[in-house]
Structure formats: structure tokens, C-alpha cells
Amino acid sequence: MHKTYVHPLPVRLWHWINAVGFLLLILTGVHIRYVGVFDLMSFRTAVTLHNWIGFVVIADYFVWLLFYLTSDKIVNYVPDLNARRLFTKAFRQVRYYGYGMFVGEKDPHTVTPYDKFNPMQAMLYSVVMLIVAPIQFYTGILLWDVQRFSAQVEFFGGVRIVDTIHVLIFAFFIVYIFMHAYLGALGRPWTAHYKAMFTGWEEEH
Amino acid sequence: MRRLRDAAVLPATLCRARLCYPIALAAPTIRRPVRGPLFAAGIRVRGTGLTHHNAAAHGAAHLGSEMVGMGITLSMKISRKTAFAGRHGLFVLAMAAGLAGWLVSAKAQDTALSDPDKACLGCHGMEGMDKKAANGDSIPLHVPADIFAKSVHTAVGCTGCHYDIKADAHPATPKNITSARAFSVETVQTCRNCHDDKFKEWENSIHASLVRDGNPAAPICSDCHSPHGVIKNAASAMESVPCRGCHSDVYEAYAGSVHGKLRESGQIMAPLCAGCHTAHSITAANVAMELGLKSICTGCHADTFEKHKTWLPNAGLHLETVSCAACHAPGVPRQVNLRLVDQATQKRIAEQSGVPRFEAAARANDGRGTGLGPVEVWTLLRSLERDKPGDQTVLLGRLEVQKGADAHKLAAKGKAVSDCGTCHRQGAEAFQTVSLSVARPDGRLIRYGAQSDVLSSIVSVDSIKGFYAIGATRIDLVDYLVILALVGGAAIPVGHLLLGWFVRRANRRGAAKA
């Protein structure tokens, strides 16, 4: 068995705070948008919790950002600009997830501290962490105090548009979390990646 | 004011006229023979028995002469025959009239009335005195002396306002009065002489605007301030506040409100009508709200924002887009008012005087006549923009009560709507009635109904940018996408597991065949 330390402590802390935060944001967000459909808490409680948790998640994001900006491991998020190579690797990865893993083939991507993500993960995480999540945080802050940020809300076309963007990204994260949790369970054994996300050590059998 | 009364020229103008000129000059005593119209009519009045210009004597002297001819009637009529009864008869008449006059104006004589005013009241103090206008309206000429005596206008006296009465033409000169209303509107200009500041405020008010529009119910000065009975602070007592005369529904709502009850219990800090609306520069309610009626609420409730901020998310936005009454008058029907606003200037679109285009454009776009739908609203905005190239028209929404009177049913703080779910849920009552509005030149609104789904249509993302209530006006299409995401997210693991099952099965079968 080969062990690789791929998840430093700041990343693990960020990840789990973020994970719990996302789940709570979804829970409270659903209560805000669908009052009466779910009845775990009042609208006002949901809004208050949503705001506080939102700020915690935003602060947590900066833990992640600061770590990678000050670490050489930032290479994990530097995109591969060689389209041919990227496509080839991505295709191999899709083939593995769609066929190879079911017939006992080895994962074409080997996890190392400076090459943590397979090409599909790399693309997705880059987009999520550098584009989608910041937009969600930003629209969330605008909605937190619409009047204070009224000029920016107006710039983006009004509160209706800002809220629609926020909800569409929320829909994206619903899909993302299902997928992320499921793919995380595809280790060998199925708890391997979860365990690694707690310990920092990825074990290769 | 006192100087005005002192300078009053009533005896020299009014009573010097025709009938009892010497009597009018008689204060305090008259010792001269009378030669006037009565003399011309064969009456010789020697007023030696009069000790002063007795109002009743004055009135009695008028009776049976020109006044009846002018169309002026008195409830107490003394015939010409009686007037001709000779010196003895006249003396009796004078005494009787003096007694009657004393009865009529006893209080006036004892209080603030000046002698000239008493002279006028000699006739005008008699009940039932009126004049017919050309259209048949009855214009009361009766001034109850006791009421006038209590009025602040005793300071200026009768001629302070009725300065157009000519000594030699009263009361015989008939005026061409078309109607009581026309007479009042014309006469009201008199008030300006002393109350110029208030008059200017009124001139800019919605009331004056309605008067100019020819609305016969729109109030002029004398409709609120009884000109002969105006007293100080009349408008500050609930029972005498003049607004209730026309706005009885509003008054009833107010009287039952927290403000009305406090006022009734003697809390003079609790506002009456003018406390919020001002007395004279009254604007249309929606304009007042935009221009600062809400700031008048916060004038007393100074910590409104701070208090709301402690529990209400986005308190500032709520205070901006929700009228106070929408929450503080619980249980009343509410509506969404989508105001057409020029995006560049953020000023509401006003209908130009004489060139109405909003209503016509709205009707043209509302093909089925069932109220504007989402697409119709969008096309309406674009059509209005075509009329004025370069402008971009947007809709800014505001949640308010449906009826103006209901806005006064303000309840105690503890009864105000504080459950966010009242509004922030799909199908909430507050969002079922929707209208678009522009302002008339005088500030009143022109509304056109819209369907409630304009608030939840994807098309409205463009046309109703400035109004959105989380939960209540959420866009249906986005909801479908959320459901799709949920189903799709759950389908990915299931699909992948199924794929694995099929692949492994196919692989096993392939191996078995091999």
C-alpha cells in the first residue's frame, strides 16, 4: 500500500467547513424560497441562519484561497492549456468512469500532491472555485443587504436578476453535491477518499 | 387685526346706504330724523327712541322693503302695511324689533362683536335669510350672531372680508350669482388677503387641483373653515375636524386606529388628519408617500429603522418598498403597485396634461381585456419607449393597501404583521392584485390592472426589475430548473450504478461466451 499526503490541514479544514456550510445553506435556502413547503424553521430564522452561514462559508473560502496563493500546490488549479493533451486525458478518464472501473482497470490518473485532480476534476474545480462559487458569494452578499448594495444590484439589472442567478447557481450546486458525494465514494474501499479527506493521506492499494 | 376692525367702515358704507343711514351713524345715540329709502317710500322714521344702532331695529327697518325685492327672504316678515302704521306704530315696531334683535344677538352684544358687526347682524343674524342663485341654489345669508361672536373673525369684523359691499348699493344691488358653488369659489379669493401663505399652500394642493378641474365636491377654504364660525384649533379636535365631512370613511378608519384611540383618550401627540397630511398643502396620497409621508411617520417614530433592523432582514428595503400600512394595518387587502419609472432619472412617468397615452397604450396591449399579462406588460413598456426614444421605462413595485381609507387602520405595534411568511410565500394575498400606474400632472394615479402572474414570469426578469419578494414572486421557470437539478443530481449516482451493473453483466456474459 502506498500513502500520499495530498490534503494539507488548511485544505481539510476548508473542505469540511465548506461541506457542512453548503448543506446548511441549501437547507436554509430551501426554507427561504419555499416557505410553507418545508417547515423545519421560520422564514426569519432561515434568513438569519442563511446570512451567518453564508459569511462563514465566504470566510472559509479565503482560507482555501490564502493557502493556495501562498503554496506551490497552486499548480493543482493551473489549467492545462494544451487542449489536445487535456482532451486525451479527459477522454481516458471518462472511459474509466464509464467502463474501466467496472471491469477492474486502474484509474488512469495517479494522485500526487502537485497533481491532485484528474483532468475532469481539475476543469470542474477550477470553474467552481474561481468562477461559480465567487459569483454565488457575491450575489449572496448583494441579497443580504439589497439597499446597501443597490448601485451594484442595479448594475446587474435589479434584484430579480441577482436572485435568479443566485438560485440558478444553487440548482447547479445541488447537482454538484450529489455528484461530488457519489464520486467521493468510488474509492477502494468506498470510504477511502472520505477517509483521506479527514486524514490528509490518500492510500493507494 | 384689531386695527382692521377699528377701521371697519360698515356704518359708513353699509348702513349709510338707503334705509337707516342716520341710525347707522347713531352709535351710541341717535337724535336725528331719518331720511332715506324709507322716507322715499313714505316712511318717516324718527329714531328718537333709539339709544344706539340696534341690530333688530336695523333689520326691522329693512323688512318689507328692497330686501324682499332683491330675492332676500327673512323668516320673520313684517309687512309694509305695518311699516306704514305711523309714528306710534313705528315706535312699537322699533321696540319689538329691538327686543327681537336682542334675542337674536344677545350673545354677540355681550361678547366680542363690534357695533358695526352688530349692525350687520341686525339683518344677517336672522335665521332663514338666504338668496337664490340663478340655478336655484339657496345661498344662506344668515350669520348666527352667537357663533360669529366666538369666531376669530370678529377681529376683522364683517367688512374685513365683505369689503366689496358698497354703502349705497347694499342690499338693493342684485349680484349675478350663477350658483352657490360659483359664488363660494369666487368669494374664497377673499381669504388670500389675510391668509396668503395658507392660500398658496392650498393652491398647490390636490384640493385646489380638483377645484380647477371643476369637481363640485373639492373643498375651498369655506368648506373646511366655516367663515363666520371659524375658531382656533377647530381642526385639532376629533369631533370638529373638517376633513371628516368628505372623508368620512377615512375618518372612521382613523377613529378606530391606534392613533384615533390615543387621540380620543386625550393624547394630543397622537396625530389627527393634518398631523400627517398637513392642513393645506395636501397632495395625492401616493405622491405624499413618495415625497415623504413616510418620513412624516418617522418624524414621530424616529427610531423606525433602528427598531426594524433588529429583527427584519433587509429592513431598509422593506421600509422603501412596503408602505407602513401594509404591515401596520393588519388584515386589510393589499396590492402591488408597479410604478412606471424612467430608468435614467429614476423619476416616475407622469402623464402629460392633455396628452394621455398610458391608458390608451395599456388598453391597446390588453387584447383580451383581462388585465395585462407578462408579455403584454413587456410590450407596453417597449411601446411607451418608442414614443419617447432614448428613455428606458422600468417598473418599480411597491406593496401597499388597496384602499386609501384602509391605510388609516393602523393597529398597535404588537398587532402589526411580523410573520415574514405572510408575504414571503407563494400565493400570498398581497401579491394577487397587481396594477401598473403612472401619475397625473396633479399626482393622482392612473392605474391599469395586471394579472398576478406578471410577478412570477420569466419575462418579468426584464420588465419588473425592481420588485421581487423572495418566495412570493419567484419565477416559475427557475423552480422547474431547481426540480430538474434535484432529479438530475439524484439520477447521476443511480445512473452510474446501473451503468456499472450493465457493464459488469455484459462483461460476465462476454467472459462466459469466451
In tens, the pLDDT along A105-142 reads 988 988 899 999 999 999 999 999 999 999 999 999 99
Please identify which residue in the block is written with the cell numbers 398637513: B278
- Enter the C-alpha cell of residue B451: 394579472
pLDDT per residue over B29-53, tens digit each?
A: 333 333 333 333 322 223 322 322 3
Q: Which residues of B touch A97 (CB under 8 A)?
A: 496
Lowest pLDDT segment from A75-79, B136-140, B179-183, B290-294: B290-294
Are the beta carbons of A43 and B507 separated by less than 8 Å? no
Measure the CA–CA gap between A146 and A141, rounded to whole angstroms: 8
Candidates B477, B458, B478, B473; CA nearest to B423 is: B473
In 10 A of CB B397, how many CB atoms?
23
In chain A, positions 16-35, which contact chain B (CB-CB < 8 Å)?
Answer: 32-35
What's the total number of domains in chain A? 1
Residue A171: which of B461, B473, B482 has the nearest Cβ?
Answer: B482
Q: Say if A106 falls within a structural domain.
A: no
* Helix residue ranges per DSSP H, B310-418: 315-321, 324-328, 358-365, 374-387
Structure confidence by residue, pLDDT tens digits, B198-213: 999 999 899 998 998 8
C-alpha distances (whole Å) from B514 to each of A103, B336, B369, B500, B501 are 16, 73, 74, 21, 20
Is residue A27 included in any domain, yes or no?
Answer: yes
Residue of A nearest to B479 (CA): A167
- Asked whether residue A172 is assigned to any structural domain, the reply reads yes
Q: Does A99 touch chain B (CB under 8 A)?
A: yes
Interface of B with A (CB under 8 A): 311, 313-314, 316-317, 320, 394, 419-421, 424-426, 460-462, 464-468, 470-471, 473-475, 478, 481-482, 484-486, 488-490, 492-493, 496, 499-500, 503-504, 507
d(C-alpha B482, C-alpha B488), whole Å: 10
Q: A169 in a domain, yes or no?
A: yes
Confidence band, pLDDT 50/70/90 cuts, at residue B290: low
The torsion angles phi and psi of B307, rounded to 5 degrees, stand at -70, -40
* Measured torsion, CA atoms of residues A70, A73, A79, A81, in degrees rounded to the nearest 10: 110
Residues 6+ apart with CB under 8 A from A150: none
The whole-angstrom separation of Cα A61 and Cα A46 is 22
Is A30 a member of any domain?
A: yes
- Domain residues for the domain of A137 are 2-81+113-204
Question: How many angstroms separate the CA atoms of A27 and A41, rounded?
Answer: 10
Residue in B225, B216, B340 with CA at minimum distance from that of residue B286: B340
Element (H, E) at A201: strand A201-204
Q: Do B496 and A97 touch (CB under 8 A)?
A: yes
Report d(CA B373, CA B460) in Å as an integer: 10
Q: What is the CATH number of the domain that holds A130?
A: 1.20.950.20
Question: Binning pLDDT at 50, 70 and 90, where does residue B353 land?
Answer: low
| pLDDT given at position B513 | 83
Which of B468, B488, B499 comes nearest A160 by C-beta? B468
Closest C-alpha among B402, B405, B425, B404 to residue B333: B402
Tally Cβ neighbours within 10 Å of residue B443: 19
Question: What is the predicted pLDDT for the residue at B172?
Answer: 61
Q: What is the DSSP string of A154-192?
A: HHTT-HHHHHHHHHHHHHHHHHHHHHHHHHHTTSSSTTH
DSSP state of B403: S
Residues 6+ apart with CB under 8 A from A170: A26, A29, A136, B482
Residues A11, A67: Cα–Cα separation, whole Å = 8
State the pLDDT at residue B288. 56
Contact A160 B424 (CB under 8 A): no
- As for the ipTM of the complex, it is 0.90
Element (H, E) at A96: helix A83-98
As a dihedral over the C-alpha atoms of residue B98, residue B103, residue B107, residue B113, rounded to 10 degrees, the angle is -30
Q: Cβ(B141)–Cβ(B62) under 8 Å?
A: no
How does B237-274 read in b/e, with b if 16+ C-beta sit within 10 Å?
A: eeeebbbbeebeebbebbeebbbbeebeeeeeebbbbe
User: What is the β-pairing status of strands B130-132 and B434-439?
Assistant: unpaired
Q: Residue A120 domain-assigned?
A: yes
What is the distance, to the nearest Å, from the Cα of residue B506 to the centroid of all Cα atoms in its chain? 85
A95–chain B Cβ distance below 8 A for any pair: no
For residues B239 and B232, give the distance between their C-alpha atoms in angstroms, rounded to a whole number: 14
| Closest approach of B324 to chain A, Cα-based (Å) | 18
User: Tell me, what's the pLDDT at B111?
Assistant: 54
The ranges assigned to domains in chain B are 2-178, 321-474, 476-514
Question: Does the beta carbon of A74 lie under 8 angstroms from any beta carbon of chain B?
Answer: no
pLDDT of B227 reads 84
> Exposure string (b/e) for B337-355, b if CB count within 10 Å is 16 or more?
bbbbbbbeeeebbbbeeee
Q: Across the interface, do B499 and A102 touch by the CB < 8 Å criterion?
A: yes
Name the 3-class secondary structure at B417.
Answer: coil
Record the cell numbers describing residue B162, joined without a space. Answer: 365683505
Residues of A in contact with B461 (CB under 8 A): 157, 160-161, 164
Domain contains A15:
yes
Q: What is the pLDDT of residue B85?
A: 39
Give the sign of the dihedral formed by CA A47, CA A50, CA A56, CA A59.
Answer: negative
Range from A160-164, B7-11, B487-491 carrying the lowest mean pLDDT: B7-11
DSSP one-letter code for B43 = -
Q: How confident is the model at residue B350 (pLDDT cuts 50, 70, 90)?
A: confident
Do residues B70 and B172 lie in contact, with contact meaning Cβ atoms separated by under 8 Å? Answer: yes
